[in-house]
Amino acid sequence: MRFVRDYLIPRLVQYVLVIFFGITAVFLIPRFTGQDPVLEIIAQIQTQGGSLDPIAVRKLTETLQELYGLRGTLWEQYVNMWRRVFHLDFGPSLFQFPTPVSELLRIYLPWTIGLFATSTLLAWLLGNVLGGIAGYFSSQSWSKILDAVIMVIRPVPHYIFGVLLLILFAYVWALFPAGGLMLGRRTVVDLRFVMIILRYSFLPALTLVVLGGAGWFQQMKLLVQNVRREDFVQYAQAGGVKERVIISRYVMRNAMLPQITQLALVLGQVFSGVLMVEMVFSYPGMGLLLYRAVTRGDYNLVMGIAILSIFTITTAVLLLDLLYPLLDPRIRHR
Amino acid sequence: MDAIITVENLQAFYVLEVMGERKVIKAVNGVDFAVLRDEVYGIAGESGCGKTTLLKAIFAALEPPLRIFEGKVYYYPNGERVDAFSLAGEARRKLRWTYISYIPQGSMSVFNPVKRLRITFLDFLKSHVGGKREEELLTLAREHLVRLGLTPQVLNGYPHQLSGGMRQRVAIALATLLKPRVILADEPTTALDVVAQRAVLQLLRDVQKEFRSTIIVVTHDMGIHAQITDRMAIMYAGRIVEEGLTKDIFARPLHPYTRYLIQSLPKVGDKNTKESAPGSPPSLLYLPPGCSFHPRCSEVMEHCVQEIPPLKKINESHWVACWMREG
Amino acid sequence: MEALRELFRDYRFAVGFVFLVLLAALAFLSFFSPYDPVRWLQVPRDEPPSWKHILGTNAKGQDVFWEATFAIRNSLVVALIAGLVSRVVAVLVGFLAGYKGGVVDRVLMGVADGLLVIPLFLILVLVAMLLREAMTIVNTGLLLAFFGWAWDARTIRAQILSLREREFTQTSLLSGNSTLSLVSKEYVPFTIPLIFSTLISNIAWAIGMEIVLAILGLVRLEIPTLGTMLQWAITRQAMLLGHWWWIATPLALTVILLVALYWLSVSVSEYLDPRMRIQRIGAR
Ligand SMILES: Nc1ncnc2c1ncn2[C@@H]1O[C@H](COP(=O)(O)OP(=O)(O)OP(=O)(O)O)[C@@H](O)[C@H]1O
Ligand SMILES: [Mg+2]
């Protein structure tokens, strides 16, 4: 089938290639920069007052090299790394020694995925629906006002926008907590638990939905203004098809397709935004974990986060690519 | 005979703001004619002379930047005269598809690309036929296609799955769903191969016979006019320069421009190279003074440069706008 | 010049331009600063705005206003280095991929796509973490440049592809012009406006990225930039202590700077959009 050959297979190949090269890059970068994390850690321990005798230093070096997968030739290390990736074994975390990195990731990842998935979906839907309607009625004043507001919001980076919301709604006007949700053992999922999660997730999600939505809004508005001039829309208008049907089934439905492709393209950036927002609000996800790992020089953890994120994003992109033909018959029935 | 559409002194211009400056493209510049019941009326002329604009005005589809500056278009539903431009929105919507219907230029792209054709047909039917269930409407659409000799199977497909010729024919079927009295067809055969062209022409003839509709065909292809139209008008730079029975126009073309158009047709056994009018069409922004055709005319006289020739009656049915035909 | 006058008619361009000039002037003021940008305890600590210190002083004993002039200057330098260097890469890759096509195109675009799909930010963090001590202004700019070209290379390639379709490529090659002179004479003029508008948005991206790297402590924190200023204010609890002037200054400056840049780029790219162009020039 041509669909399989021209659409499906290239995307699967791309999926495998991006993961392969991405993880290889994560492996190679530390080795190219000429920095030795092991030496750094030992230096760190020594500056923190622990005087180590030479034998202890050598033993520690060996242990750390073992743990970090830094033993043997470059090739051996590389093969070894892939074996560890497949076993989801990234060694121990340094700042929560000896908790394995994979254990930390297992705790924090669901929080990130939850925030990432809901806020991205909400932003996409909200931005596209509002942008579509504003684009269709682009000469009306409410559409212009909305556009002007978005012109100010859109260029603000995630981190700054998050800080602004945090100051406004957690300090000046203390409606929401300024972060600090602890990840304890989850006991029962009751209403209180859900309410707590909502309270702590509201501002991070708001940041992501507003900023993301602003972007989708503007693109959709442009797209709709173009689609509106297409023959099939003008013809349906001439034929007296109801305006509601024209907006939804003719204009939005068609303008939506490039927005799905676009979503796949920017998903990596969107994910980066999620991590930054998590840092602002101390939301217990990968972003916060990353912040702690970076500020404490925990290479293993940073690498684990990077590798897992590459998996998450590429898989999400693949899912979008697989979803697309369901919505575009020109791809499905070639 | 009864008129079914009349156009009186119609001036339809595109008004553009260019760098703060107002530009007016005089696409239809004072056009008068009447189309009669049951005939096939042709409009010919080279690209950019305003044919599509004229049809849009007749259909009263006036999207900016297109604006009517002068003139009237009248419809005659149920025998009474109606001004097309002063129709209220709902009344106009009702007349469309039932009284007057439009097959636009490039009608390959009039279908929603992401929906099955069935949905598009239903959307159009629902907007005009009230109080019927979806199933009944669909039956209506199927029967219509069968009557026009098309397979109802096409309704289950997507537009991109049809060939160009087939898509054009389905577009004609969509436009004629509600048996309109008048059908405006803009370049229905352009960009089709000869076989598909013949099928489309046959379909138009069938529609006319089946529903006793009046058809206005616009095409730059004089061959099509010879095959299908009863009467025709020749347009040049936004004006009608000649009008008459098609057979008269081909037998005795009066305007030099008409003669060029006919000479440029390939003839069987004719080895001469085709001769089209020299030069290029004028800019509708800056029309030449006098007769717009004079810069390209081989028989130009002094008078042609000074004054615009009016459309003059030569006999019962033949009119021409040319100073050579004075007296 | 004609184009510039046309652009100034757009209020977004005018406003963006004016604010950018003001910020540039502020950055220039840093050369006349009475204080050293790095040293601590030059003025009393934690003072609210007064005539003497119009934006107050911070917990490090520095004047916030003069610190901000340095911060803008350094942030602009980082962003300009990132923007300009990545333009070189983006233009080379875009031209090469678009002009050569075939395998070259597929490989280069594969690399660009790969860079787009993976969360680049994490790779950036990983590298910055390893280079931490070396993260001076110049190096930060270069690092951002290294990761900031993929999207724009794609855009430029698309433009080259559409230029290649036009006939002057054929006629020019047939009349014996070398590829190089063809590219420089025929393509560059057409792509310069596009390169300019990608430059503006890339600069904005770099400014935002520098802030995040600073928050993570991955640049030299003693050098004042918009990012490090914010980092100090946040880690020293300016929010909690109510030292709003310290945290509001970098926030406000960043927002103004980025909004100004964004309005400029929107205005320019709308001006360049062929569809809009045609509307301006009109038919025939
Ligand atoms: N939307 C528009 N805005 C501005 N000018 C237009 C527009 N549509 C058409 N024109 C101009 O009006 C003139 C007449 O156009 P029109 O489409 O009516 O010509 P036509 O005879 O149908 O030509 P063709 O055979 O190419 O279809 C042309 O000069 C064209 O450039
Ligand atoms: Mg036309």
For residue B19, pLDDT beyond 80: no
A187 pLDDT band, cuts 50/70/90, is: low
pTM of the model: 0.86
Nearest-CA distance C1 → chain A (Å): 26
Q: How many domains does chain A have?
A: 1
Confidence of residue C23 (pLDDT cuts 50, 70, 90): very high
Residue of A nearest to B62 (CA): A238
Calculate how far, in angstroms, residue B233's C-alpha sits from the geometric centre of ligand 2. 15
Given an 8 Å threshold on Cβ–Cβ distance, is C117 in contact with A18? yes
Per-residue confidence (pLDDT) for residue C36, from 0 to 100: 87
Residues B117 and B159: beta-carbon distance below 8 Å: yes
Would you place residue A162 in the very low, low, confident or very high pLDDT band (cuts 50, 70, 90)?
Answer: very high
Q: Which two tokens stand for residue A111?
A: 């929080």
Provide, as residue numbers in chain B, all residues whose Cβ is less than 8 Å from the Cβ of A238: 59, 61, 96, 102
Range of the domain at B241: 3-114+158-325
- pLDDT for the residue numbered B192: 80
CATH code for the domain of C237 = 1.10.3720.10
The Cα–Cα gap between A279 and A289 comes to 8
CB contact under 8 A, A268 and C239: no
Backbone conformation region of residue A180, classed left if phi is above 0, alpha if psi is from -120 to 50, else beta:
left
Phi, psi (5° rounding) for residue C59?
Answer: -70, -15
Residues of C with Cβ-Cβ distance to B18 under 8 angstroms: 280-282
Mutation target to probe the A interface, by most A beta carbons within 10 A, among B112, B122, B125 is B112
Give percent above pLDDT 90 in chain C: 36
Q: What value does the mean pLDDT take over residues A81-85?
A: 87
Tell whether A167 is covered by a domain. Answer: yes
What is the domain count for chain B? 1
Question: Is residue B193 assigned to a domain?
Answer: yes
Alpha-carbon gap, residue C85 to C200, rounded angstroms? 13
Task: For residue range B146-194, list pLDDT tens digits in order.
Answer: 988 889 999 999 999 998 888 888 998 999 888 899 999 999 888 788 8
- What's the total number of domains in chain C? 1
Q: What phi, psi does B61 have (nearest 5°)?
A: -100, 90
What's the pLDDT at C239? 82
Q: Which domain holds residue C267?
A: 2-283
Domain CATH number, residue B206? 3.40.50.300
Residues with CB under 5 A from ligand 2 (ion): B 52, 105
Chain C hits for A26, Cβ within 8 Å: 123, 126
Q: Which domain holds residue A175?
A: 111-297
First and final C-alpha spacing in chain B: 28
Does A171 lie at the interface with C, CB-CB under 8 angstroms?
Answer: yes
Average pLDDT over residues C172-191: 68
Are B16 and C283 in contact (CB < 8 Å)? yes
Contacts of B295 (CB under 8 A, 6+ apart): B279, B282, B288
Q: With 60 as the cut, is the pLDDT of residue C141 above it? A: yes
Cβ atoms of residues B294 and B300 within 8 Å: yes
Cβ-nearest to A156 among C113, C258, C266 = C258
| B119 part of a folded domain | no
- The answer to the question of residue A304 being in a domain is no
Per residue in B82-110, pLDDT (tens digit) is 898 888 888 888 889 989 999 988 767 88
Write the ipTM. Answer: 0.88
The residue of chain A with its CA nearest to that of C266 is A151
Residue nearest to atom 1 of ligand 1 (CA): B65
Distance B47 CA to ligand 1 centre (A): 8
How many CB atoms within 10 Å of residue A158? 26
Q: Which of C284, B27, C268 is nearest to C276 (CA)?
A: C268
Q: Is residue A331 part of a domain?
A: no
Instruction: Summarize pLDDT for B267-299 with one digit per residue, the tens.
Output: 655 555 555 566 777 788 888 888 888 888 888
CATH of the domain at A122: 1.10.3720.10
Q: Which chains touch A (3 or more CB pairs under 8 A)?
A: B, C
How many helical (H) and strand (E) elements, i.e. helices and strands, does chain C have?
14, 0
